[in-house]
A and B are shown apart, each in its own frame.
Chain A
């Protein structure tokens, strides 16, 4: 591989790596949000329901 080819590969490689890393970070965030949504759903279900005006 010539010197010029190495520089071209480095420039395109850096772009690809950063975009993939960014997508991986977003995917990790999405899975965290999914987990937190599940936890909140469990918490909401475990709360006693508010009594309506006609109840009791």
Chain B
């Protein structure tokens, strides 16, 4: 017996509800950080967005691997949608990060932070995915080349994620260490709720976008069949 998938509307409603709860927890329950003050509240939106961007790129790579293993056409659209998700959340990571940097360090961007530069490299790598994809005629060749490219990019994810731990980066803060999260329990709870809410928003957008792309592809085929 298969478990029925929850409808997109129910998931979207849940995402909105969790979003409201996370805003309430961030601004009315979680204490103001003694070091950074109010600007630390950006952490609750910036970090979950960055993690969602990594998840989007990771999903794109996983679906690309599935395509290369099975040659099933559907994985191409799923991989493309995953990379698209990662790119949108990547833009949001860079913008919210720049706002936080300006508030905390007084600059919008600094090239001396490995974490920032490596994330930018990862983001630009996946931006080039779209240039590559749309420079090739649709078909199995495009699917395979796009999949190989998406798969190569996944190697940059752990490098970007662990860069701050591998290098002695004193500019970008490290909140999650081997000893656990460096924050109070209430702050961590607010972060987790925000993370779940943003992940759910991303999942809803992924499914909606994928459904749109699949319908678009089916309509194109139908139009061609009717025209012949």
Contact residues of A with B, CB < 8 Å? Answer: 2-5, 7-8, 10-12, 14-15, 18-19, 22-23, 26, 29-30, 33, 36-37, 40, 43-44, 47
CB 8 Å contact bits of B198-228 with A (1 = contact, 0 = none): 0001000100110010011001001100100
Are B96 and A15 neighbours in the complex by a CB distance under 8 Å?
yes
Across the interface, B205 reaches (CB within 8 A) one of A4, A7, A22, namely A22
Task: Classify the interface of chain A: helix, strand, loop or mixed.
Answer: helix
Instruction: Provide the residues of chain A in CB contact with B208, threshold 8 Å.
Output: 26
Say whether B219 contacts A18, CB under 8 Å.
no
A-B pairs with beta carbons under 8 Å apart, 17 shown: A4-B103, A7-B42, A8-B103, A11-B45, A11-B96, A11-B100, A18-B91, A18-B92, A26-B205, A26-B209, A33-B215, A33-B216, A33-B219, A37-B219, A40-B222, A40-B223, A43-B226
User: Which of A7, A30, A33, A43 is the one whose CB lies under 8 Å from B99?
Assistant: A7
Inter-chain CA distance A23–B205, complex, in Å, is 8
Contact check, A2 vs B212: say whether CB atoms are below 8 A apart: no
* Interface members, chain B 29-77 (any A CB < 8 Å): 37-39, 41-42, 45-46, 49
- Contact A5–B38 (Cβ < 8 Å): yes
Using Cβ atoms and an 8 Å threshold, which residues of chain B touch A4? Answer: 37-39, 103
B219 to A, closest residue via Cβ: A36
The bracket for how many chain B residues form the interface is: 20 to 34
**A3 → B minimal CB distance (Å):** 7
B95 sits at the interface (CB 8 A): yes
**B154 close to chain A: CB less than 8 A:** no
Which A residues are in CB contact (< 8 Å) with B41? 8
A40 interface neighbour in B46, B91, B212, B226, Cβ under 8 Å: B226
CB distance from A2 to the nearest CB of B (A): 7
Q: Is B165 an interface residue (CB 8 A)?
A: no
Contact between A30 and B49 (Cβ–Cβ < 8 Å)? no
> For A43, what are the chain B residues with a Cβ–Cβ distance below 8 Å?
226
B-side contacts of A5, CB under 8 Å:
38
Residue among A8, A19, A37 making CB contact with B42, cutoff 8 Å = A8
Contact across chains for A14 and B99 when beta carbons are under 8 A apart? yes
For B92, the chain A residues whose CB sits under 8 A away are 14-15, 18
Q: Could you list 18 further interchain pairs (A-B, Cβ under 8 angstroms) beyond the known A4-B38, A11-B96, A26-B209? A: A3-B103, A5-B38, A7-B39, A7-B99, A8-B103, A11-B42, A11-B45, A11-B46, A12-B45, A18-B91, A18-B92, A19-B201, A19-B205, A22-B205, A23-B205, A26-B208, A29-B212, A37-B219
